[in-house]
Chain A
Amino acid sequence: MATKHRCVWLATLALAGHAAASRAADLHLELVEGLRSRGYHDTAVVYLDQIENDARVSQDVRTVIPFERAVTLLQSARSLGPEARREPLDRAQAQFEAFTRANPDHPLSARANTERARILLENARLGIWQARSPANKGQEQPFRDEARALIARARTVFQTAHDQHKAAWEQFGVFIPETERQKIEARKQAEIAYMQTQMDLAMCTYEEAQTHPRDSAEFKRLLTRAAEDFEAIHEKYRSIVVGLYARMWQAKCFEEQGGREGLGRALGIYNELLGHPGDSQTMQILKGHVRHFWCICQNQRNESQLVIQAADEWVKNNRVWLRTPFGIGIRWELVQALEAYAQDRTLAAKDKERLLRQALGEAEAISRIAGQYRDVAAFAVPRIKVALNIDPGDPRDFDTALGRGRTMIKPGIFDRQQAIDAERAGQKRADELAALERDLADHLRETGRVLELAVNLSDSKTDPRHLLEAHYLLAYVHYLQDRAFEAGVLAEFVGRKFREADPEFALKSAYLSMAAWTKVYNASPQPEDDRTFEVDRIIRACQLVTGFWPQSEEAQGARIQLGRIFSRREQPAEAARWYSEVPESAEQYAEAQLAAGQAWWNAYLKAAARRDDAGDAEQPAPEQLDEWQRSAEGHLKVGIARVEAATPKDQESPVDLIAGKVTMAQILVNRGEYDAAVKLLKTEPHAPEQAIQVKQGETRPKSGIKSPAFASLVYQLFLRSYVGTKNIDEALRVMEQLERAVPEGDDGTAVTAIYIKLGRELQNEIERLRASPSGNRLTEVLASFEEFLSALTAQRERMNYSALIWIAETWYYLAEGIGSGNLRAQDYYGRAAETYQDILGRPQGFVPGGKDLGVKLRLVNCRRSQGEYQQALELVGEVLAGQPMALQAQIEAAQVLQSWGESGEPEAHKHLREAIQGRDIGTQKKAVWGWAGIVRMLANRPEYREQSLQARYNSAVCRRQYGLEQSSGAKGKAELEHARTELEMFARVSGPEQLGDEWWKKFEGMYHTLQRDLNQATTPLPRPVRHQPRPLSAVGSMDLAARPAGTSARLMAGSRPRAAAAVPVKSTSPVLVILGLLVAAGGAGGIVFWMVQSQKRSRRPRLMSSAIAPAFTPPAMTADPSRSSRTAAPAARRKPAVADDESRPSTTAGPAPAPGGGARTRRSGQPPASG
C-alpha cells in the first residue's frame, strides 16, 4: 500500500510538473521555461550551466538539469532545418540518456525515455526524407538502412516507456474522489502519456514501412499492420483527439497501399475528419494534416481541380499555418495540381500561364523553406520556368528595367485592379475573383523584382531623379503587396535621403511612408495601448513631411494626423498644438479648429483631474489651465462659426459641428453656466438636440451622431444641467429620454452603465473643484447634488433598478470625489450602501437576472470604504459561498483584507498576510484566494493580464507592509527580501516588453522601495537575460503529425468537453462587466473624452483611413489622374475598409477630419501633382 502511494505521489509530482517541488525550484525552472517559451534556448542552456554547480540551488533542481537541458536542446532543434537539426538532437539525446542513467527511478525518467525514442524516430524520418530526395537518386539504400536501425532502437525504448506509463496510470485505480483534484489531474496526465506511447509504437511501424520501396511486399505488410494498430487506438479513444489522429494515420496507411479501394477508404475517413465540428486550435491542426493527406489522395486520383480549389481555400484561410509541415505539404500538393491542370489542352493560353505562374510562385517559396519538400520544389522551379518559357532575359540596363517596371505598374497593375473591381461589382463567382487576386499578387511580385533589378543596375551615371523614381515605385509596390514595413522603411529612406535630388518626389515618398506606417499600425495585432512603436513611426514620418515641406498640402494632412495621434496617446495639449498649426489658408482649417478646441479642452480636463497629485512635476500651473480652457473655447467658437456659416440651414448637420457644439456645452456645464449649455444644445439651426433625433420606430445607428452613445451623451449634458439648476421635473423627463435613446435589451445594463459613468464624471468634477483655488463652486455643486439626490431618493419607491443604481453610484462617487477621510464622504458612502441594500431587498425580479453579484460587490466596496471591514468580509464571503470562482469577488475579497491590513487597527497587519495567501471563511477552506492565489489562477490567461499584474503588484505591496509591521527585525527583513526576490525573478522572465512601460515602471518603483527598505543600493530591476537572437520554434512545435504524441495537452483537448476552468473565462454578470469597464476607463476627464476612450477600446483602432491609399499615385501615371485614383482604390479595399468613425478619435464627439485623414482626400480622388 505504501509503495502504491509512493508511486502515485511520484507520478503526481512528475506529471503535475516537477517544477512544483519547491518555491526555489519554481523560480529557477520557471525562469528556464520562460526563456524557452520566448525561443531563448541558448540563454536557457547557459542559465542551466550556471546553476548546475551552484550550491545555493537545491539538489532537486540540480538533479533535473540534464533533463531540462535536453528539453531545451530538443525545442531548439525543432526550430532548425533538417540538416542542422541532427547535432542538437544528438546532444539532447545524450542528455536524456545521462539523466535516465543517473536517475533511473526518477519520476521524469519515463518521459526522458519517451523523448529519447522520439529523437531516434525523428532522425529516422530525416533518413527517409533523404532517401526520397531527387538529389540522392540511386543512393537510397544506405539512408533506408540507417533509418530502419534507428526505428528499431526507438521501438525498444518506446516499449519500455509504454510499460512504465501504463503501470503509472494503472496505479491510480478507477475511482478517485472528486475532492482530490490534484490526483485526478495526475491520473489524466498519466493517461495521456500512456496514450502517447501507444501512438508512438504504431508510428514506428508506419515509419518502418517507409524505409522500404513503395512497391515492395514488406512496405504493404507493415502498412497493414500499422493500420491495425491505429484502428485499435482509435477504437479505444475515438472521442478524443488522440483517437482522431489514430484514425487519420489509419487512413494514411490505406492511402499508401494505393489502388482504388485504398484511396477510396482513405478519402472516406479524411472527409469524415474534415467534417468534424470542432474548430479549436488543436482541431485546426488536425484538419490541416488531414487536408494535406486529402490533397495527396486527390492528386493521385488526378483530381487536380479539386485540389486547387481546396488548397487555395485552405491557404487563404490559414495563413498562420502556412509554414508548418502540413501547410508546406498542402502548398506542394497545390503546385503539383497546378502543374497538372496546366497540361489541359483545352485551357486558354492565358489561363495556363496563370496556373503556371502561381505554381512557380509557390514552388519558389517552398524551395526556400527547409524541410521535406525543399528539394522537390527546387527541382520543380526550372521545370515550371521552361513550361512558362520565361526568363529569356531580364533587362540589362537601368533605363530598360525602369521602363519595364513603369509599364508593369501602368497598365499592368491598374488593369488587374480594374478587373478585380469589375468582378466585385458584378458579384461574380468567388473563385474567379480569387484567381484574379492571385494573378495580381503574382504580378506585383514580379513588378517588385523588376524594379529591384532596375535599382541594382543603376550606377554613377544614372540620373538620380530616375533612381529616386525607381525606389518610390518599389515602395509603392511593397505598399500594394501589404508589405507595409518594407514600404515604410524604403519610402521614408527615400524621403529623407533623396530630398535634394528631387524634392517633389521625395515629398511624395515621405507621404507614402506616412500611409505605410499607418497601415502597419492598423494591422498590428497588439492592443492599441501597446502600439507605441507603430505610433512613433507614424509621428516620425509626419514630422518628416512637416519638417522639410512645412507649407505643402501634405504637411496639413500630416498635422491633422499628428493631432489625431497625440489625442489617442492622451497627450491632448500636444494634439492641440498640431491642430492649431493648420493655417487659415488650408482647406481643413475649420475642422482643425474644432479639433484643436476639443483637444485643448481635453488637455484642460486631463490636467485638472491630476491636480490633487501634489508630487506631479508636470502639473501645469493654474494660469496655464485657464489658458487652455480659453483656447478650447476660442478654437471651438471659430470652428463652429466657420462650419455653421458654410452649411445651409436645411442641410443635414455636419458631424464635426454637432460634436463641437457638444464639447462647447461641456465647457459651459463645467463653468456652471447651465442655462447657456441648454441654450446651445437646443438652439437651431443645427441644434444637437435635434441632430440626435431619429424617426419614430427607427433604430438608432451604431455610430455617428444619431447613435445611442452620442444621443445619451447629449441627454447626459441636459441632465447635468438640470441637476445644476435643480430642475427635477426636467431632469426626470431627460432621464426618460435617455432611457429611450439607449437600447435596454432585457437587463437595463446600458442605461445603468451610463448612470454609473455619470457618477464617475461627477467624481472627476468634484476632484477638480476640490483642487480649485476657489472653494465656493465645490460647496455649491455638492449642495446642488445633495439636494437633488435627496429629492430623488425620497421618490425611490417608484423608481426602477437603473435609476436606483444611478442614485447609489452618484452617492458613491460623490464620496470618492471628496475623499474617504472626510465625514461627509462617510455619510455619502453610507447613503450609497443604503441604496444598494434597498436594491437587494426589493422583491424577486426587481434586480435583472444575474446582477445580484455585482450589486453585492458594490455594497462590499462601500463597506470597505466606510472602514467596516468585518462586515465587508462577511458580505463577500456570502458571495463566494455561492460563486467561489468569481474572479471579481476574489479580487474584492483580497482588497478588503489588504485595506483592513493597512487600516492601522490593532493586529490588523495579520490581514496583510491573508490578503496575500488567502484565508478560510467559516467552514470554507481557502475561500479567499488572496493575491498570490489570484496570480496562480490567472497564469497563462492573457485575457486577464491586467488583473494578474495588479494582483502580483498588490501582493508585493502587502508583503512589504507586512514586513515593515513585523516586530522582529529578522522576520521583517526576510519578508522584504522575499518580496524583492519575487519581483526580481518575475522581472527576469517578463521584461518591459511583456509588461509594458507603465507596469515595468511600477514594478521597478516597488523594487527600489524594497531595496531602500533593506538598506540596499538601488539597482535597475533585472531584465530578462539578453540572448543572441535565435529563431523561434513556431514551426517545429506544431508538428503534431510527425510527432503525433508530441503535445500532450492538445491531445486531450478538442472533442472531449473541457474540464471546468479554474477561473471563469467570462463573468456572467453584466454588472461585473460594467464595473470592469469602469476600472478600465480610468478617470481622465470629460464625457466626450470618456466616450472617445471607450469607443477606442471597443473597436479595432485605426488611426488613419486606408482611403488614403488612392491618393498615392506613382509618378508615371499622372497623365490620367482620374483613372489612377480609381484603380488604386482596390488596394485600399484589400484590407477591410476603414470606417471613417473608426479612423478618427473624435468622430462622435469631436471634429471630423476628412475621411482619409488629410488634405488629399478632400479633393475627391485627385492625385497629387507629380513630376
Chain B
Amino acid sequence: MTSPRFLTAAVAAMLVLAAASRGDAADEITRKGSAAPLRGEITEFSRTEVTIKTGLRANQRDEKVPVNVIARIEWDGEPSKLSLNRNAEAAGRYGEAIKGYGEALAEVPGENARLQTDVTFLIARATARQALVDPPKLDDAIAKLEAFRSANSNHFRHFEATSLLGELYLAKRDFIKAAPIFQQLEQAPWNDYKMAAKNAGGRLNLLNDKPEAAQADFDSVLAIDATSPGEVAERLQALLGKATALQRLGQPAEAQQEIERVIEQADNNDSETLAEAYVRLGDSLQAQNKPQEALVAYLHVDVIPKLARESQHHSEALLHLSNLWNAVSRPDRAGEARDLLMSRYPTSDAARKLSAPAAGSE
C-alpha cells in the first residue's frame, strides 16, 4: 500500500516539475525540425548563438542554441497579441502583422529593451516581406533593416536581417549593393548560410542574364553535403535555381526534372520552397507548350493555403492563372484569378505585368 505521505510528496514534486517546465522565466525557443521548444530564460546572445538557461532550479544549465536552427523566439511577458501577429505574418497578412507589431511595441515597457529590439526587427521583417510583393515599399523596408543592422550589429537577428536585406536589394535590382550583403552572409559560421549566400550569387547571375555562371553557382551548392534542415532547404533552393538556369538555357524538360525532385524532397512545411517550385514547374511546362499541365502547377500555389501565403509566388502564379484558365475554357476563372491578383497584390510586379500594355514601338 502506498503511503499517503509519499503521495503528497509525489504530487508536490509534480507541481514543482510542472512549474519548472513552464519556466519561471518563460522565454521560449522553437528550433527548426523540433516540435519541443526550449523554455527558460534567455540570458545572452550574439550574432551566432542564443544562450538560454533551462531546467529545474536545482539543476539549471545554460544551453547555447545556434542562431541558424532557431525557428521562433517567444519572450516572457510579451504582449499576447504578438503571437497572433507572428501568425498573421506567417500567413502573408503583412499589413495586419505590421500594424499589430506596432501596437505590441507600444505596449512593451521601456525597460524591456530586448523585447523592444526584437519587435522592432519583426516590424522590419514584415515590412521587408511585404515589400517583396509591393515594390513601392522597398525603400522603406531597406531603411528599416539597414537601421536595425547598424544599431544591433551583434544581435542574433543580424544574419537574418542581412539575408533579407540582400533579397530587398535584389528585388530592387540594385546588384551593386546586393553583392556585398551576400558576401557578408557568407561569413556566417554555418553551412546553410554559406549555401544561401552562394544561392544568392546564382540568382544575381540569373538576373544579370548569365545562366551558365548561375548554373555553376548552384552546382557548387549542390556539391555540399546537406544534412541539417537548413542545409537541405538550401540544397533544394539550389536545385530550383539550377532549374531556372536550365530553362534559360533552353532546356525546360531538364528543368522540369529538377523541379519535380524538389517537390518530392521538400518538407511539407517548407511552403516557400514548395511555392516557388510549383511556379517554376509551371514555367517549364509553359515553355514546353503544355498549358493545361502548367495551369495545374500554378494552381497548387493558389489552392494550397500555406503556399498561397507566399505572396511573391502567389502573385506570380495568379498572373499565369489569369491567362491559363482559358486553356481549359474557363475564362470566368481566368477573370477570378485576375481579380484576386489585382485586389490582393495591386502593386506587385505581377499586377504591373498584367496591367502593362503590349510592348511595342510607335
Contacts and interface: CB of A to CB of B under 8 A. Distances in A.
- Helix, strand, loop or mixed for chain B's interface? helix
A474 B302 CA distance: 13
A993 interface: yes
A83 B291 CA distance: 29
A210 B102 CA distance: 46
Given A993-B291, A1029-B323, A489 B35 contact: no
A537 B328 contact: no
Nearest to A451: B305
A368 B331 contact: no
Given A76-B358, A498-B268, A533-B292, A493 B323 contact: no
A350 interface: no
Nearest to A84: B355
A474 B333 CA distance: 19
A736 interface: no
Given A459-B87, A497-B268, A1030 B358 contact: yes
A458 B306 CA distance: 9
Contacts of A98: 362
Nearest to B326: A1032
Chain A: interface secondary structure?
helix
B2 interface: no
Contacts of A455: 305-306
Most buried by A among B291, B293, B296, B302: B296
Nearest to B321: A1029
Contacts of B71: 460
Contacts of A1034: 326, 331, 334-335
A232 interface: no
A30 to B, nearest CB: 19
A529 to B, nearest CB: 15
B72 to A, nearest CB: 8
A91 B357 contact: yes
Interface stretch (B175-183, B216-224, B338-346): B338-346
Contacts of B302: 486
Contacts of B332: 319-320, 322-323
A524 B328 contact: yes
Contact of B289 (A84, A458, A991): A991
B357 A489 contact: no
B215 to A, nearest CB: 22
Given A368-B343, A369-B339, A73 B296 contact: no
A60 interface: no
A992 B289 contact: yes
B65 to A, nearest CB: 16
Given A368-B343, A490-B304, A1031 B334 contact: yes
Contacts of A456: 87, 90-91, 305-306, 309
B8 to A, nearest CB: 34
Interface in A1022-1036: 1023, 1026, 1028-1032, 1034-1035
Contacts of B324: 1029
Interface residues of B, number: 56
Interface in B263-284: 268-269
Nearest to B353: A1028
Contacts of A485: 295-296, 299, 328, 333
B237 interface: no
Interface string B1-44: 00000000000000000000000000000100001000000000
Contact of B84 (A45, A320, A367, A396): A396
Nearest to A468: B268
A705 B299 CA distance: 43
A621 to B, nearest CB: 32
Contacts, number: 143
A526 B268 CA distance: 35
Contacts of A537: 296
Chain A contact-residue range equals 35 or more
A69 B357 CA distance: 12
B319 interface: yes
Nearest to A501: B268
A46 interface: yes
A370 interface: yes
A465 to B, nearest CB: 12
A83 B329 CA distance: 27
B151 interface: no
A1035 B332 CA distance: 10
Residue of A77, A471, A485 with highest tally of chain B CB at under 10 A: A485
B57 to A, nearest CB: 26
Contact of A84 (B293, B326, B357): B357
Contacts of B91: 456-457
B358 A73 contact: yes
Given A459-B87, A524-B328, A1023-B289, A368 B361 contact: no
Contacts of A498: 268
B297 to A, nearest CB: 9
Nearest to B87: A457
Contacts of B305: 452, 455-456, 474
B127 interface: no
A1033 to B, nearest CB: 10
A133 B338 CA distance: 22
B360 interface: yes
A39 interface: yes
A95 interface: yes
Contacts of B340: 368
A461 interface: yes
B353 A1031 contact: no
Interface of B: 30, 35, 71-72, 84, 87, 90-91, 268-269, 286-287, 289, 291-293, 295-296, 299-300, 302-306, 309, 319-320, 322-324, 326-329, 331-336, 338-340, 342-343, 353-362
16 contacts: A42-B359, A45-B358, A72-B358, A87-B357, A91-B357, A323-B335, A368-B340, A369-B339, A452-B305, A456-B87, A459-B90, A486-B302, A493-B304, A525-B329, A993-B289, A1023-B289
Given A45-B358, A485-B299, 7 more contacts: A42-B358, A42-B360, A46-B360, A69-B360, A88-B358, A1023-B289, A1032-B323
Q: Which 5 A-B pairs have the closest CB atoms?
A: A45-B360, A88-B357, A368-B339, A1029-B323, A84-B355
